[in-house]
Amino acid sequence: MAALAFSFVAPPLMRNNRRFGLVGVALALPAFAASLYWLVGSPQAASINPPATSVASASRDMNRTSGKSVGSVASMTDGLAARLTENPDDGKSWLLLAKSYHHLKRLPEAREAYEKAVALGEYDETLATSFDAPAAEETGARIFGNVKLSERSKAIVKPTDTVFIFARAVDGPPMPVAVLQRPVSELPLDFLLNDSQAMSADMKLSNFERVVVTARVSSSGVATDALQDLEAKSESIVVAENRHLDLLID
């Protein structure tokens, strides 16, 4: 994070009621993925596309052990949480943990795990919208949306290039108040910016009323170095409105 902050600051200095039912079903399946993760000790085992025979077998086993399923999932979820203390930079596993906690109705822990997943670039709109309004307020300011490339920019960028998505305060210093960094190969990308992505405790999204969100492609990995001026920029937006942004890099 320090290196990322330096990439922003150094260059200027140098120059000068149905929906929730469906959500419940959608969030139940990852809990079983968490079980697989714990059993084999590999994130790949939690693939969202397991063989059909494995899914059928797992379903039969669940039906036979329905009385013990919640306790088993809870135990395995806690095991996954313990493993993440040793590997806290695994964003996909944090997202899996958040979904598992949500399935177990452990909402405070689900929100905490989800915020860590988001900070590592993992976002799930179904999970994000499943939290009720009071819960959303507890997580602080949030800006979410989608970033994609125009046809012109697709002909210029490389999969190994980097896209930086960041928010800057309209009335504040140049340092971003939230930053997300992902490879261009992941575009189009759903993103979420919040306080967990701040570069400084004094410079976080919830401290400012209005921001401008920018999505910028860089081939050098330096946030201030736009590749052939490829970027998308929002208008000035009110943070409290929790708006969805569609950013087209061109």
Cβ neighbors of 125 (< 8 A, separation 6 or more) are 144, 190
pLDDT category at 109 given cuts 50, 70, 90 is confident
End-to-end CA distance of the chain: 27
Mean pLDDT, range 38-66, rounded to an integer: 41
Mean pLDDT, range 209-237, rounded to an integer: 93
pLDDT category at 4 given cuts 50, 70, 90 is low
pTM: 0.50
Domain ranges of the chain: 19-137, 140-249
Res 22 pLDDT > 60: no
Range with the largest mean pLDDT of 19-23, 30-34, 66-70, 145-149? 145-149
12-21, 182-191, 229-238: lowest mean pLDDT where?
12-21
pLDDT given at position 20 = 44
pLDDT category at 137 given cuts 50, 70, 90 is very low
Kindly list the distances between the CA atom of residue 170 and the CA atoms of 4, 32, 144, 165, 235, in Å, as whole numbers in the listed order: 20, 44, 18, 16, 10
Res 16 pLDDT > 50: no
26-40, 86-100, 116-130: lowest mean pLDDT where?
26-40
| Between 30 and 87, the higher pLDDT residue | 87
Q: What share of the chain has pLDDT > 90, as a percent?
A: 31
169 within 8 A of 195, measured Cβ to Cβ: no
CA distance linking residue 130 with residue 20, whole number of Å: 7
143 within 8 A of 247, measured Cβ to Cβ: no
Res 87 pLDDT > 60: yes
Mean pLDDT, range 17-25, rounded to an integer: 46
52-66, 77-91, 206-220, 226-240: lowest mean pLDDT where?
52-66
